[in-house]
Amino acid sequence: MKIRVGILGATGYTGAELLRLLVNHPDVEITWLTSEKFSGRQISDVFPHLKGLLDIECNSVRRFNDLSDTDLVFSCLPHGTSMHFVIRMLDAGARVIDFSADFRFPDIKTYENWFKSKHKYSNYLKEAVYGLPELNREDIAGARLIANPGCYATSVIMGLAPLIKSGLVIPDSVIADIKSGLSGGGRAPSLERHFSEANEGMGIGSVSGHNQKPEIEGIFSGLAGARYRVTFISHSAPLDRGILATVYSRLTGKMTISKIRQIYKMFYKDQRFVRLLDTGIMPFTKNVRYSNFCDIGLAFQEDVLVSAVAIDNLGKGASGQAVQNMNIMFDLPEIEGLGPTAIYP
Amino acid sequence: MKIRVGILGATGYTGAELLRLLVNHPDVEITWLTSEKFSGRQISDVFPHLKGLLDIECNSVRRFNDLSDTDLVFSCLPHGTSMHFVIRMLDAGARVIDFSADFRFPDIKTYENWFKSKHKYSNYLKEAVYGLPELNREDIAGARLIANPGCYATSVIMGLAPLIKSGLVIPDSVIADIKSGLSGGGRAPSLERHFSEANEGMGIGSVSGHNQKPEIEGIFSGLAGARYRVTFISHSAPLDRGILATVYSRLTGKMTISKIRQIYKMFYKDQRFVRLLDTGIMPFTKNVRYSNFCDIGLAFQEDVLVSAVAIDNLGKGASGQAVQNMNIMFDLPEIEGLGPTAIYP
Amino acid sequence: MKIRVGILGATGYTGAELLRLLVNHPDVEITWLTSEKFSGRQISDVFPHLKGLLDIECNSVRRFNDLSDTDLVFSCLPHGTSMHFVIRMLDAGARVIDFSADFRFPDIKTYENWFKSKHKYSNYLKEAVYGLPELNREDIAGARLIANPGCYATSVIMGLAPLIKSGLVIPDSVIADIKSGLSGGGRAPSLERHFSEANEGMGIGSVSGHNQKPEIEGIFSGLAGARYRVTFISHSAPLDRGILATVYSRLTGKMTISKIRQIYKMFYKDQRFVRLLDTGIMPFTKNVRYSNFCDIGLAFQEDVLVSAVAIDNLGKGASGQAVQNMNIMFDLPEIEGLGPTAIYP
Amino acid sequence: MKIRVGILGATGYTGAELLRLLVNHPDVEITWLTSEKFSGRQISDVFPHLKGLLDIECNSVRRFNDLSDTDLVFSCLPHGTSMHFVIRMLDAGARVIDFSADFRFPDIKTYENWFKSKHKYSNYLKEAVYGLPELNREDIAGARLIANPGCYATSVIMGLAPLIKSGLVIPDSVIADIKSGLSGGGRAPSLERHFSEANEGMGIGSVSGHNQKPEIEGIFSGLAGARYRVTFISHSAPLDRGILATVYSRLTGKMTISKIRQIYKMFYKDQRFVRLLDTGIMPFTKNVRYSNFCDIGLAFQEDVLVSAVAIDNLGKGASGQAVQNMNIMFDLPEIEGLGPTAIYP
């Protein structure tokens, strides 16, 4: 029997990508989807590229109280809003994969510090599993609530996790410089992402801080077994999709690059979506566009290690990873619906 | 003494380009500028690229009733709004160059048909001069009110005026297919021009009609001395600036391309901003970006004449042309402030 | 048993797209592929996005004389070169889908006029089937040699075929204005398509003629049962993929748009890849990117009919269409491997 | 009397930008220019945007032995080639501004290490002045030979020089992460910069090292009076122009951002092309496009100082800076020909 899926807030970019993947997925049936803004309209009016591929109406979330025929809910709602509906869905008996940051921090204080608002569901916080399969596959399998990782966090964590876990990185030496395409900023029109403003420009995000900084720090601290801080800045580049993370770190001792590569190979053994590039090759975002791949390149510049990571911000950085989590949760082959999709040019 | 200039609605893209040109203009002093939205803020807050180049505050238009120290007002206000302020400025003694369509149609009915609203200033309509210097230089010189042409109309008219005036084009055979960059759609955020929507896409404007269709028809009818219709469709391309107009027409008799070129050469004799390209060369928008140039290429495909025209939609298509008009009105060298500015790449 | 496929000249953009589609195709096994330039190297060295998806070596075409284990050969070789290898493959017993123009013209004179070179295989010319499934499905099914249509030709033919066949279009009134993304120009580096030259520019192709003009004229003449000419010009826009064709025509009599839509609906009945858009909606290339869809919008501007068509130049315009042809030739479901793939943004 | 200028290798992108600036410059006459590839052709054939603006023929460098009527030569020739012609020009009596790296290193060993080739002109190396006016204005004024800085080096040096000179930066803590537009890679076609390869992609340059790394280290070492190393990696973004440098450093002691801003203000006092942005504002490359501006933003993230710098790689990063140097050498106002040119959008 197919997994019966509902989607909260399906009309943004993570929703669009999720729909594309689920329409292709042999074991999924999209049962319902919500949009307050487009309630009553066909999804193919909102996304004309889906015309002929998906005939389903957007409805208000208020319509979905009885979830007896829903196995899984994806929430693409924004931070702060999502938690309320996630809880409601859980309480109605569905499992949930939440794209927002609302359940990413086991520690409620971190959440409240960064988001400047109260979090009322601390017990669920503890239950939630951070949905990075390459780290937490087993917990994901049995989870009721998945906190789907942030796109920037995914790239940085994937790029350095093997060394952090090995205890080889000097604490606080890590600088993560992110370059991201503009779909990461969402579909709501704004001056900043108006075509003639953003096109042909490179900009820099908040220096004082982004909420995915503590997300990374939390995971690294867990892996290292000690408090970890990172310097983290994101930049915007004029492209639709793609994240290139350049992660600089210093190691506790001298190591060769081939020894480091061995550590990565071991750590990512049998991970189908991780591609460790050959020595001397660095990742390029266009090679992972529209896929769930995570390409990693490693090199030293003198004594600084550079781990460069490319992912698609809506793929491995969001909806692709969510589908990967779903596959694990429902005991399906992990690549189902995420199969060979790399597209070029 | 410098021309003292005021600008209505200076914070859009035509305003930005006008400011750039006027800041460089040796005979102009920007006295005031208006913006309802940014009233009270420095223009360099609105346009950070002007930081250090122009220190002037945006103010509400309500502040500017006494125009005794203003020689010329540019109105960058939208259609329908502009007319009311243009009249006020004229009545207060300033000359005006209006970027909107409000005074482009000598015939009030055409305006009201296309804009579906009343036009209360029919007497001013008659006085207004259509500001295409290559056609109307003498009238522009003495005008009090200039209707600055539309960007699409400029490209199409420039591309075919010599033949229309010569009576060589079969009436109603003209098809104008426009490709335009996205700054032509203005600076107000919209889903259609949101980066990740517009980028990597080619779209098509309204087929049922655009108000620059009757604008072209009016000018062609005047040149031909007979009623003229054109088929006109605009398309959007993912670039900041540039219009490429491909104008198809059929001629009343057999002609060689070299004879046609002679007609164009004669017609555009001494027109500094028109570049008739060599036989076999077709225009490319990037060659006119950020300039007031109008590049024209001519060729036959069998018996269809193709006149292809490239302009910068904010240059010759808007603010550059407005400055050219100003120079003529104030008896300055026509290229002043519009000097060698072509930029590549 | 799977279809055993060989690919000639697999390392350009049509090759890249074909590989992506075939890797996803459940009934295909890629047996061999050729590249003179990259002979001896892994295809994933040439196309790093395929790393982990396809492990096969490029070899010289000289290696493949025995085709006893090859069912079908795709030739992505250039015009003029392709015919020699196509013939060799046919003679060795394989069926062939040829991407070049070498077998698109039943009439050898048309080929020789446009390509200025001799064509030595006139008997094969007659056998070849023009691979546009919406017109020639039955002939395709049994064909040994398919001439896969040109990308521009596909868009224009799809946009007007129903009316041409109905005899409703005034002969020679058709003007096809094409806007195309830059991957259509191939992967070989050139100044014209160097990033900083092509980016932010709109240009125009040869006015004197393109070889897809007679291709369209040939098909239209066949449909109308009379000699047909079209005016045809292509333009380049700074995007990777997509063709927007704006086709202007005049009809032999007055017709309503809803009557015309009925003709299209009937003509394209059960055609899975044709999406006739609702009245008032015009196609946008981004809605068909990476898919085999062909979106068609229809509207009048006064008495000129505008048929606007969007396809992906490498999808329905090349490799997607080739896979569609393969499915028909091998009696597979027509959408196999071409399933729901529309991607946005 | 005007400065009589010759240009070596004028047909690349730095040449194009230099020509644009010099055509606008009131005190310069372009006397000759060379191109081996386009010898005998008009420069407006090579750069059609210059049609009507500059009528001068490209010639082989072999033609220019008598420099009695040349005051200044700009060399836009590549590294390794440039030095030979620079010396010849100097010996013939002209002053020279060299865009290549050939004379940027006072120490011949650094050059030979990085470029893996012999440098035969060590005496000229010592005479050459590093042409960064904000550091070396006085030496530039009297120089015969200017080594025009690299574009990346300019951005990084401008971003940290005030603190390096003050001795406040922990040695070897500096990490410079560069994002650059693609015109920086020159005009010669290559697969890497072919439109459909580079578009929509973010890539990373050589990790093992770029020759502008030792260039920065040399200048920093000079300013600090001690040996300085930096970690330096460049990235490519799909835009024509612009560099965004994000420079991370750690300071020797606790400092407030306002104290640091004071140091920058003092250091860059009266520097017309440096714009120190207000607290909280970070630079955006589009605000400096086509200008000689250098926008600097400063902020802390915890104890890491982030200096972000935006320049135009062909402006302040190459040709604009060269013209600035020329103005200083010939005792002209420093902004002449570089006046208010910021363009948006």
Count contacts between A and B (CB, < 8 Å): 60
Tokens of C152: 């521009």
Task: Tell me the chain C residues in contact with residue A241 when contact means C-beta distances shorter than 8 Å.
Answer: 345
Please say if the pLDDT value at position D66 is more than 90: no
D251: which 2 tokens?
């300071």
Q: What tokens were used for C220?
A: 């239209």
On the question of pLDDT at B113 being above 80, the answer is yes
Residue of D281, D298, D301, D314 for testing the chain A interface, max A β-carbons within 10 Å? D301
Q: Which residues pair with B295 in a beta bridge?
A: B275, B310
Q: Note the CATH architecture for domain C3-127.
A: 3-Layer(aba) Sandwich (3.40)
| pLDDT tens digits, C111-146 | 999 999 999 898 999 999 999 999 999 999 999 999
Q: Which of A181, A189, A196 sits opposite B191 (nearest CB)?
A: A189
Cβ-proximal residues to D262 (8 Å cutoff; 6+ apart), any chain: none
Contact C179 B235 (CB under 8 A): yes
CB of C219 closer than 8 Å to CB of C190: no
Give B317's contacts in chain C (Cβ within 8 Å).
none
Residue C97's DSSP bridge partners are C74, C146
Average pLDDT of the residues in B206-232 = 94
What confidence category does residue B65 fall into, taking pLDDT thresholds of 50, 70 and 90? confident
In chain B, what residues touch A189 (CB-CB under 8 Å)? 189-191, 193-194
**Interface test mutation site (partner A, options B195, B202, B286, max chain A beta carbons within 10 A):** B195
- The string of pLDDT tens digits covering residues B314-338 is 999 999 999 999 999 999 999 999 9
Give the residue extent of every domain in chain B: 3-127, 151-314
The answer to whether the CB atoms of B199 and C345 lie below 8 A apart is yes
**Phi/psi of residue D31, nearest 5 degrees:** -90, -40
The beta-carbon neighbor of D240 closest among C200, C239, C240 is C200
Q: Which residue of D has its CA nearest to C186?
A: D196
Question: Could you read off the pLDDT tens digit of each residue along chain A, which spans 345 residues?
Answer: 899 999 999 999 999 999 999 999 999 999 999 999 999 999 999 999 999 999 999 999 998 888 999 999 999 999 999 999 999 999 999 999 999 999 999 889 999 999 999 998 999 999 999 999 999 999 999 999 999 999 999 999 999 999 999 999 998 899 999 999 999 999 999 999 999 999 999 999 989 879 999 999 999 999 999 999 999 999 999 999 999 999 999 999 999 999 999 999 999 999 999 999 999 899 999 999 999 999 999 999 999 999 999 999 999 999 999 999 999 999 999 999 997 777 889
For residue B283, the chain C residues in CB contact (below 8 A) are 204
Closest CA of chain C from D195, distance in Å: 4
Judge if B3-127 and B151-314 fold alike in CATH terms.
Answer: no
Q: Which residue of C has its CA nearest to B311?
A: C202
| Helix, strand, or coil (residue A128) | coil
The residue behind tokens 């003198």 is A302
Please tell me the predicted confidence (pLDDT) of residue D51.
93
Q: Which residues of B are catalytic?
A: 151
User: What residues 214-233 of chain C have any CB closer than 8 A to a CB of chain A?
Assistant: none
What ipTM does the predicted assembly reach? 0.96
Residue of A nearest to C287 (CA): A49
| Domain B151-314 is found in CATH 3.30.9.10 | no
Return the H-helix or E-strand segment holding C261: helix C257-267
Cβ-Cβ pairs closer than 8 A, B with C, add up to 142
Distance CA C285, CA C273 (A): 14
For residue C339, what pLDDT band results from cuts at 50, 70 and 90?
Answer: confident
**What amino acid occupies position D135?**
L
Average pLDDT of C145-149?
98
Identity of the residue in B200, B241, B301 whose CB atom sits nearest the CB atom of C286:
B200
- Smallest Cβ–Cβ distance between D201 and the set A232, A284, A301 belongs to A284
D313 in reach of chain C (CB within 8 A) = no
- Contacts with C195 from chain D: Cβ below 8 Å: 182, 193-195, 198-199, 238, 240
- In the predicted structure, residue D131 carries a pLDDT above the cut 90: yes
Per the rule left: phi > 0, alpha: psi between -120 and 50, beta: everything else, B93 is left
User: Would you tell me which residues 165-184 of chain B have a C-beta closer than 8 angstroms to some C-beta of chain D?
Assistant: 183
Q: Does C191 touch chain D (CB under 8 A)?
A: yes
Name which of D53, D200, D342 is nearest B53 (Cβ-Cβ). Answer: D342
Whether pTM exceeds 0.90: yes
Find the CB nearest C182 among D13, D193, D195: D195
C231 contact partners, CB below 8 Å, separation of at least 6: B248, B301, B302, B304, C174, C175, C176
DSSP C31: E
Structure tokens belonging to residue D208: 């093992």
Question: For A49, which of C240, C241, C342 is closest by C-beta distance?
Answer: C342
Measure Cα distances from C267 to C158, C245, D208 in Å. Answer: 10, 19, 61
Annotated catalytic, C151?
Answer: yes
Confirm if D231 and D160 have CB atoms less than 8 A apart: no
Measured in angstroms, the CA of C196 and the nearest CA of chain D are apart by: 5
Interface test with A, best of B13, B49, B196 (most A CBs within 10 A): B196
Confidence of residue D40 (pLDDT cuts 50, 70, 90): very high
Interface residue C189 vs chain A (CB under 8 A): no
Query: ω before B26 within 30° of 0 (cis)?
Result: no
pLDDT greater than 80 at residue B341? no
- What is the least distance, in Å, from the CA of B318 to any CA of chain A? 16
**C144 in B contact zone (CB under 8 Å):** no
Between chains, do D240 and C187 touch, taking CB under 8 Å as contact? no
Which pLDDT tens digit goes with each residue over C207-250? 987 999 999 999 999 999 999 999 999 999 999 999 999 999 99
Contact A92, A23 (CB under 8 A): no
Judged by CB atoms closer than 8 Å, whether chains meet at D345 and B24 is answered as no
Query: How far away is chain B from the Cα of D124, in angstroms, using its nearest Cα?
Result: 33
Identify all chain B residues contacting D289, using CB atoms and an 8 Å cutoff: 49
Task: Tell me which residues of chain C, numbers 237 to 296, contact chain A at a CB-CB cutoff of 8 Å.
Answer: 240-241, 272, 275, 277, 281, 284, 286-291, 293, 295
Q: Given this model, what pLDDT does residue D343 score?
A: 87
Q: Which of C177, C239, C301 sits opposite B238 (nearest CB)?
A: C239
Contact C201 B246 (CB under 8 A): no
Q: Do B194 and A193 touch (CB under 8 A)?
A: yes
Angle among Cα C243, C246, C249 to the nearest 5 degrees reads: 145
Q: How confident is the model at residue D148 (pLDDT cuts 50, 70, 90)?
A: very high
Contacts of A13 in chain C (CB under 8 A): 345
Shortest Cα distance, chain C CAs vs residue B98, angstroms: 28
Strand-strand pairing, C231-236 and C294-301 = unpaired
pLDDT in tens, D155-190: 999 999 999 999 999 988 999 999 999 999 999 999
pLDDT at B342: 75
Chains in touch with A (3+ beta-carbon pairs under 8 Å) read B, C, D
The answer to whether B48 contacts chain A (CB < 8 Å) is no
Position B228 pLDDT exceeds 80: yes
pLDDT for res C206: 87
Whether residue B156 is predicted with pLDDT greater than 90 in this model: the reply is yes
Contact state of B201 with C246 under an 8 Å Cβ cutoff: no
Q: Give the one of D179, D208, D209 whose C-beta lies nearest to A235's C-beta.
A: D179
Q: Which residues in chain D have their CB less than 8 angstroms from residue A229's CB?
A: 302
Tracing tokens 């009134």 back to the chain, one arrives at C173
pLDDT at D189: 97
The C-alpha R_g of chain B, in whole angstroms, comes to 20
Question: How far away is chain A from the Cα of B86, in angstroms, using its nearest Cα?
Answer: 28
Sequential DSSP letters for A47-87: -GGGTTT---BEE-GGG----TT-SEEEE-PPTTTHHHHHH
Residue C120 near chain D (CB below 8 Å):
no
Q: In this model, does residue B66 exceed pLDDT 90?
A: no
Q: What is the mean pLDDT of residues D44-63?
A: 94
Cβ(A315)–Cβ(A13) under 8 Å?
A: no
* pLDDT beyond 80 at C251: yes
- B345 Cα to chain C: minimum distance (Å): 6
CB contact (8 A) between residue A190 and residue B189? yes
| Residue bearing tokens 């952090």 | A164
